[in-house]
Amino acid sequence: MRERDPLFTFRLTPVLLSLSGLPPEEHPALLARHGLPPSAAMGTCTVALSAVRGLIQEVATRRRDPCFGLTLATSIPEGTYGLVELLARTAPSVGDALRVLARHGDQINPVGRFEATDVERGLELHYHVLGSSSGLGALQNEFSIAFVVRAMRLVATAPLRPTWAWFAHDAPSDRARLEAFFECPLEFGAKSCGFALDAAGASLTLTSSDAVVHEYLAQQAAERGGDAASFTRTVCLVVEQQLGFDDLELNRVAEHLAMTPRTLQRRLTDEGTSFSNVVDGLRRQHAERLLREGVPAERAAELLGFASAESFRRALRRWRRADSN
C-alpha cells in the first residue's frame, strides 16, 4: 500500500527559513524545491505532508543537527498555535491543558489527534496520525511532543518531568540530547507518540491560568470546531488524510473506520449529511485556502484529488453559483 500523503497546515516556515542559514535571496528556491508556495515565507501554508518533511529535513541536514525537531521546538515563539495554544495556557492545571489539546488539537492540524487518558498513576497524552505507523516522521514527532512539554514547563508552577515518553519512529543514533530534554526514559517504535505524567505533574497549576479568559476562549474554540464528538467530524478527519492522493472512495474511508460502507452512509444520514457532501465541503474549504495562498489551480487540483484542473475549475464555478443563489 502506498504511503499516505495528506494535506498539512504548516505555520513554521518563517522559523525554518531563519534557522536554515541561507541568505533571504535563496529562500524562494528552498521553498520551491519542496513544493511550498512563496507565500509560505510569510506564515501559514497548506501543502502535502511530504513537502513539509522535505523542507524540515533539508534544514536539519544543513545545520548538521540530528535533533533538529528539538531545536525547532525550542525556537518557535509563544502563541504560534493561536486559539488552542492560548486556551491551553489559561487552563487551571497541566492536566486540564492537555485535555484541551485533546479536545481541540485537530483545529491546529487535522492530520492527527491527541488523546489525554487518565491512568492509575496519572495522565498520558497520545498523538496518533491516521493511516501512518510512523507518525509525522522522526523530526516532526520529536518536535510535536517536545513542544507540548516545553509549553507546559514555561507556565507550570513547579518543574515538570514526564515519567516516560515514546515515539512512533525508530530510535535515533544519538538519543542523549532527547533524554536530557525529557528527563525520563524514552521508547521508540511505539504505536503512537506521547508522554506520561504522574498525578503530581498533571495537577501542577499554571502561572498563566485565567478562568474568565479560559471560558471565553473555550466558547470560541467550540464555535470554530463544532461538535468534536460527532460522527461527521470523525469522517472529516479521516477524509482529510486522503485528499491529494488516490481517488476518494467511500469503501476506503469505511475500511479505515472499521465499518461497512452502508453503516457509514447511514450514520452520516442520521446527522443530516452524506459522504459526497462531506467530501465536497472539505474540498471547498481547502480549495479556498490554497487559492488564497497563491497555489496554482493545477497544483490545487492535484492536492485535492480532482481528475484535472478543468474539473477543479468546474467545482469552483459550482460553489460560486451556490453562493449567489
Q: Do both 106 and 196 map to the same domain?
A: yes
Residue that is last in its domain, among 195, 225, 255: 225
Does residue 220 contact residue 198 with C-beta atoms inside 8 Å? no
Q: Do both 49 and 151 map to the same domain?
A: no
Coil, strand or helix at 259: coil
Whole-number Å distance between alpha carbons of 243 and 231: 19
pLDDT at 313: 92
Whole-number Å distance between alpha carbons of 89 and 257: 33
pLDDT at 160: 98
pLDDT at 16: 96
Residue 17, domain extent: 7-64
Residue that is last in its domain, among 190, 209, 225: 225
CATH code of 274's domain: 1.10.10.60
What's this model's pTM, rounded to 2 decimal places?
Answer: 0.74
Q: Domain for residue 127, yes or no?
A: yes
CA dihedral 215, 220, 226, 229 (to 10 degrees): -30
C-alpha dihedral sign at 61, 290, 257, 111? positive
Q: Do both 104 and 184 map to the same domain?
A: yes
Q: Domain for residue 200, yes or no?
A: yes
Q: Domain for residue 163, yes or no?
A: yes
Q: Do both 262 and 308 map to the same domain?
A: yes
Q: Domain for residue 70, yes or no?
A: no
Closest alpha carbon to 131 in 7, 229, 12: 7
- Please write the tens of the pLDDT for every residue from 75-110: 999 889 999 999 999 999 999 999 999 999 888 887
Q: What are phi and psi of 7, to 5 degrees?
A: -70, 145
Q: Domain for residue 77, yes or no?
A: no
- Please write the tens of the pLDDT for every residue from 140-186: 999 999 999 999 999 999 999 999 999 999 999 889 999 999 999 99
Q: What are phi and psi of 98, to 5 degrees?
A: -70, -35
Q: Do both 219 and 96 map to the same domain?
A: yes
pLDDT at 294: 87
**57 Cβ partners below 8 Å, 6+ apart?**
139
Closest alpha carbon to 73 in 81, 82, 83: 81
Residue 227: how many other CB atoms lie within 10 Å: 10
Whole-number Å distance between alpha carbons of 237 and 113: 9
Q: Do both 35 and 126 map to the same domain?
A: no
Q: Do both 94 and 205 map to the same domain?
A: yes
Q: Do both 236 and 219 map to the same domain?
A: no
Q: Domain for residue 203, yes or no?
A: yes
Residue 252 Ramachandran class (φ > 0 left, ψ -120 to 50 alpha, else beta): alpha
pLDDT at 196: 98
Q: Do both 142 and 40 map to the same domain?
A: no
Coil, strand or helix at 124: strand
Closest alpha carbon to 154 in 210, 77, 216, 96: 77
- Which mean pLDDT values do the consecutive 10-residue runs of the chain (325 residues) have? 65 95 96 88 82 95 95 93 94 97 86 88 90 86 97 97 96 92 96 96 97 94 65 74 59 73 88 88 88 88 88 92 77
- DSSP letter at 172 equals P
Q: Do both 138 and 237 map to the same domain?
A: no
Q: Domain for residue 76, yes or no?
A: no
- Mean residue pLDDT of the chain comes to 88
Q: Do both 19 and 36 map to the same domain?
A: yes
Whole-number Å distance between alpha carbons of 192 and 169: 9
Task: Give the number of domains in the chain.
Answer: 3
Whole-number Å distance between alpha carbons of 192 and 194: 7
Q: Do both 158 and 263 map to the same domain?
A: no
Closest alpha carbon to 284 in 254, 240, 247, 225: 240
Q: Domain for residue 48, yes or no?
A: yes
pLDDT at 2: 45
Length of the chain equals: 325
Residue that is last in its domain, among 168, 191, 225: 225
